[in-house]
Structure 1
């Protein structure tokens, strides 16, 4: 009888262990949500740091490009002030050449020799301008452009569309595409009096 009681107690113990076993297996499942939340938080933090890094790299690249452009512009336009002073020299050389009539030059060897030297000087100056990126504006027959031209007068009866440049009083210049000096011009004005100049512009 004692053996029977022992066997019955053993069976009851085995039954209790079998019943409580699922509780042990359920414990890890309760920790899974907490682990997923931690991974999601880390992923979000990594994404945020990556975004900040990309923004910082882009800003650094933009800063580098701006600095490089400023250096290039400084090198390009460093001679602007000096070049503007030389424009008057170019103007005077051209005036000296244009002031002598062709017949006077042809009939006077000394005058011809002198003008030949002036022309050579002008060519050297123009070549220096070319090397520095300085370009002469010659807008004859072109529409008036307020970005590069200054109107001195309007001329009636030129048979040209209104606003067309018909006379260049002083040529303009640019340096690497940037305005160095405006061209002073006369433009066509719609009217019926040929050759009349209106200086009220």
Structure 2
């Protein structure tokens, strides 16, 4: 008789060693599953963050895409405004019907331009009476005025404009000085927006 093992003969296996090997294999597979699950969760979180960031960038692009064009068009609006200021009010009373019609046409054009700005999210800011805010205003000069608190905008030289939450052009203003100290603001407020258009 030989010591060869026949394939159909029952074999004896060390049961504790086989059980330990199976436990090791299960533990390794559980660790691999936990690692893959963590990797999946991180990938899903990254994808969600990417989706949100992309949505925000698309919204910003939509909101601010007209900024360059609007900035250029502000010069047109300024010229229309200057054209209306050339003729004093008392000269308008004695002006010919043709001149009055021309002035009315320029006024209507200026109003339509401001409406078009408003339609595309460009708003005019009117800071008279507000506390000077360097984020929205550019101080051109100081005006001695003891009747208003220090740092109050008392005159607007050139209107400012915002698009969305961004300043398109700061308002050029004269700031009062010599009055009582301004009370500290509890919170920063958004500039007053001229909605007369």
Normalised to the residue count of structure 1, the TM-score between the two structures is 0.74
Question: Measured at CA, do residues 171 and 182 of structure 1 come closer, stay the same or move farther in structure 2, by a change above 3 Å?
Answer: same
Name the counterpart of 1:56: 43
Structure 1 residue 80 corresponds to structure 2 residue 67: yes
What is the CA-CA distance between 1:81 and the residue it aligns to? Answer: 1.4
SS at 1:75 equivalent:
helix
Q: Shift in Å at residue 105 of structure 1?
A: 1.6
By how many angstroms is 1:48 displaced?
1.0
Deviation at 1:29, TM superposition (A): 4.9
1:139 aligns with 2:134: no
Match of 1:11 in 2: none
Deviation beyond 4 Å, 4+ runs, structure 1: none
Pairs within 5 Å for 1:1-201: 28-29=15-16, 31-108=18-95, 109-190=97-178
* Offset from partner CA, 1:60-108 (integer Å, 9 cap, x none): 2222332333233223222211111111111121222233332322222
Residue 127 of structure 1: CA displacement? 1.4
Q: How far has the Cα of 1:126 moved from its partner? A: 0.9
Residues paired across the two proteins, number: 168
Q: Which has the higher helix share?
A: 1
Unpaired segments of 5 or more residues in structure 1? 1-23, 193-201
Within 1, Cα distance between the matches of 2:38 and 2:132? Answer: 51
**Unaligned regions of 5+ residues in structure 2, if any?**
1-11, 181-197
Say which one has the larger Rg. 1
Higher relative contact order, chain-length normalized (CA < 8 Å, sep 6+): 2
RMSD: 2.3
